[in-house]
Amino acid sequence: MAKVICSETLDFFLFDVFDANQVLEFDRFKEYDKTSIELFFQSIRDIAENELLPIYSKMDKEKAYFRDGKVHVLPELGKAVRAIADSGIIGALDSFENGGIQLPYCITNTALSVLYAANPNATPYATLTQGAANLISAFGSQELKDKYLEKMFSWEWQGTMALTEPEAGSSLAHIISEATLLEDGNYNIKGQKIYISAGDHDQTENIIHLLLARIKGAPKGTKGISLFVVPKFLPEDEALKDNDVLTAGIYGKMGQKGYTAAHLMFGEHGKCKGYLVGEANKGLNYMFQMMNEARIGTGTLAMATASAAYHCSLKYAKERIQGSHPDKKETQVPIIEHADVRRMLLSQKAFVEGSIGLITYCSLLKDISEFGPSENRKNAHLLLELLTPVVKSYCAEQGFQSVNLAMQVLGGAGYTDDFPIEQYLRDTRVNSIYEGTTTIHGMDLLGRKIPLENGLALKLFQKEIETTLKEAFAIEETREMAALLTDQLKGFEKVLQNHFRILKTSGPRHFLADATLFLELFSLITIAWIWLKAIVKLTENKEERNEKFVKSKLTTAKFFFDYELIKSAGLIQKMSQEKEILTSSIDSSIFD
């Protein structure tokens, strides 16, 4: 099949750079070893190749549609997602006891990278179900678990996250869907939800919504939101009974045309039943405990899409003969010989592989924070909290730019649907919008994560970087990169001090005004660290990888420092200025 992701690179970051072997030692995962994991990965690659990749373009060209109150998707989608379910991945994170396969998150997410790269529109039907099931599993009653988990793990029933409402997008505090207590202890649900991914389709017999609503009389704001299981059909006495969940329509979108986003109406006829998950008024709290996972997932999706686009553009660049070298005009060459085409390829490669590194690191932190040695859990959790806005937004924003470069490599051909790149570009665009826009993540990083426990998360991260720098300064190949990163860290420190000065003198509105730029800078430094650590590990264990692999990684790292990390210079200059911040100081009338 067409190559969509590099297995050796996934393996390299997972086992060489970030040592996933340690995770396999944890009690929770003792059933697994490297051999069984490799077998699992092989089954995942088979599904990617045989079930997912073949229908990617078709899901777009024969897009989902809404007719007579029903949503229809490409019929082949059902078989493909059931194949994903058969691999065990929907229940991958859950315990054996609950019917899951108790796999480490870092392994699960690496497998998902492969599935996403083969088909970023089909795979989310499975991962959304995973997320919904995990909420029931973590916070639901035994009754809810018994009723729902098995059918969701096997994807007989689709799961969704029903959060967004017309007046509550980025601001979930303003949710107005209402839950009224019934005599049987359950709830009557009434409200509208919009943009609900996989919110309706014809490939599963039921759809289970994990829905946020406000119990009548609950406190205002975020502290009055509860989480409910609201199935499309109520499972009662072996039958499925209508539960008054109507689909008003699906959205026409730039991309993801085979991955539906529905507008749903709950309780239009007053007969929609919901089941409280956990305690009342803790819904947002529960949801946010799953958010790191969802956000790493979005980053993974964006990275994987860019990976598929990279490999498509690389293949084209090797095959397409056009133009000559400026000093040898008589002979035409494959376009991969042109320096600017290489720049566009290396920029993609540096993004994709650096992101794989970051995603792998975050996944590992999640495993350690939950199942690692107890003395390591807190620090891993803090680091994960710090890096979640980075992994989500860097991958989403730069993933889009990366696919954009893939298109540019193909020129006119890339703009046509003769190649999948125009679809990748349309599909990946939404990643910087959902699971929190980039703006939200900038504010999360600077406003919440940096100040977390008096800056402890940041200090831990800086310590990680310092350790790597020390090693890198001792190695010939990495010395120059280490010096560059040290410079950027000094600049970052200035930016940080300037921001806390602004907070003190001008308040939080001005402090947070450039948060998106702050996130951009912090991301560049983070990825530079990932690359530096990767090369340090690679030079320490050169014999484990072949010479070509070593050379490839070293060149890509150098490219990142030379062409990408330099973008921090302008950001540092901008954000260390001692003047008022334009965007928070002007009035809105100047835009007309």
How far is 297 from 287, CA to CA, in rounded Å?
15
Nearer of residues 240 and 265 to a second copy, judged by Cβ: 265
Instruction: List the structure tokens of 573.
Output: 């200059």
Tell me the closest approach of the beta carbon of residue 159 to a second copy, in angstroms: 20
Distances (CA, A) of 152 to 43, 76, 134, 533: 20, 19, 10, 39
Size of the residue set binding a second copy (CB under 8 A): 98
CB of 67 or CB of 548, closer to a second copy: 548
Cα angle vertex 486, ends 483, 491, to 5°?
Answer: 130
Is 343 a binding residue for a second copy by CB under 8 A? The answer is yes
Number of CB atoms found within 10 A of residue 182's CB: 11
Parallel, antiparallel or unpaired: strands 178-181 and 187-197: antiparallel
Q: What's the closest the beta carbon of residue 504 comes to a second copy, in angstroms?
A: 13
> Which span (125-133, 226-234, 280-288, 512-520) binds a second copy, by CB under 8 A?
512-520
- In the three-class reduction of DSSP (H, G, I as helix; E, B as strand; rest coil), residue 231 is classed as strand
Q: One symbol per residue from 241 to 270: x for binding a second copy (CB under 8 A), - otherwise; what is it?
A: ----------xxxxx-----x---------
Spatial separation of the C-alpha atoms in residues 538 and 561, rounded to whole Å? 17
Q: Does 87 participate in binding a second copy (rule CB under 8 A)?
A: no
435 among known catalytic residues: yes
Beta carbon of residue 559, minimum distance to a second copy (angstroms, whole number)? 6
- Binding pattern to a second copy, positions 312-341, x when CB under 8 A? --x--xx--xxxxxxx----x-x-xxxxxx
Q: Name the 3-class secondary structure at 261.
A: strand
User: Binding of a second copy at residue 497 (CB under 8 A)?
Assistant: no
Residue 352 makes CB contacts below 8 A (sequence gap 6+) with 303, 306, 307, 310, 402
The nearest distance, CB 342 to a second copy, in angstroms, is 4
141 binds a second copy (CB under 8 A): no
CA-based angle 145:146:152, to the nearest 5?
70
Does 430 help bind a second copy (rule: CB under 8 A)? yes
How far is 81 from 203, CA to CA, in rounded Å?
A: 9
Q: Contact between 513 and a second copy (CB under 8 A)?
A: yes
User: Hunting for tokens 């973008």 — which residue is that?
Assistant: 567
Q: Which is nearer to a second copy, 239 or 582 (CB)?
A: 582
Q: Mask of contacts with a second copy, 142-171, x by CB under 8 A?
A: ----------------------x--x-xxx
Task: Report if residue 62 touches a second copy, rule: CB under 8 A.
Answer: no
Please count the other Cβ atoms lying within 10 Å of the Cβ belonging to residue 224. Answer: 18
C-alpha–C-alpha distance, residues 121 and 124, integer Å: 6
Work out how close the CB of 179 gets to a second copy at its nearest, in angstroms, rounded to a whole number. 23
Q: Does 448 bind a second copy (CB under 8 A)?
A: no
Name which of 164 and 300 has its Cβ closer to a second copy.
164
Is the separation of the CB atoms in 284 and 300 below 8 Å? no
Restricted to residues 527-556, the positions that interact with a second copy (CB under 8 A) are: 548, 551-552, 555-556
* Binding residue for a second copy, selected from 14, 512, 525, 532, defined by CB under 8 A: 512
Q: Which CB sits closer to a second copy, 282 or 510? A: 510
**Residue 397: half-sphere exposure toward Cβ, Cα within 13 Å:** 19
Least distance from a second copy to the Cβ atom of residue 215, Å: 22
Q: Of 221, 207, 208, 223, which is closest to residue 283 (Cα–Cα)?
A: 223
Structure tokens at 347: 């920029």
C-alpha span between 7 and 10 (Å, rounded): 5
Cβ distance to a second copy smaller for residue 253 or 494: 253
Q: Binding a second copy by CB under 8 A: which of 447, 456, 464, 539?
A: 447
Which 386-415 positions form the footprint of a second copy (CB under 8 A)?
400, 404, 407-408, 411-412, 414-415
How far does Cα 289 stand from its chain's mean position? 15
CB of 456 to a second copy, least distance (A): 22
3-state secondary structure of 215: strand
Q: Which residue, 269 or 574, has its beta carbon nearer to a second copy?
A: 574
> Smallest Cα–Cα separation from 108: which of 371, 394, 312?
371
By CB under 8 A, tell whether 426 contacts a second copy. Answer: yes
Annotate each residue in 549-588 with x if it binds a second copy (CB under 8 A) or - if it does not, as one string.
--xx--xx-xx--xx--xxxxxx-xx------xxxx-x-x
Chain positions 346 to 365 lying near a second copy, rule: CB under 8 A, are 346, 349
Cβ atoms within 10 A of the Cβ of 189, count? 26
Site map 170..209 versus a second copy, x via CB under 8 A: xx--x-------------------xx--------------
Catalytic residue among 353, 385, 397, 435: 435
- Cβ neighbourhood burial of 158 (10 Å; 0-12, 13-18, 19+): buried
By annotation, the residues acting in catalysis are 435
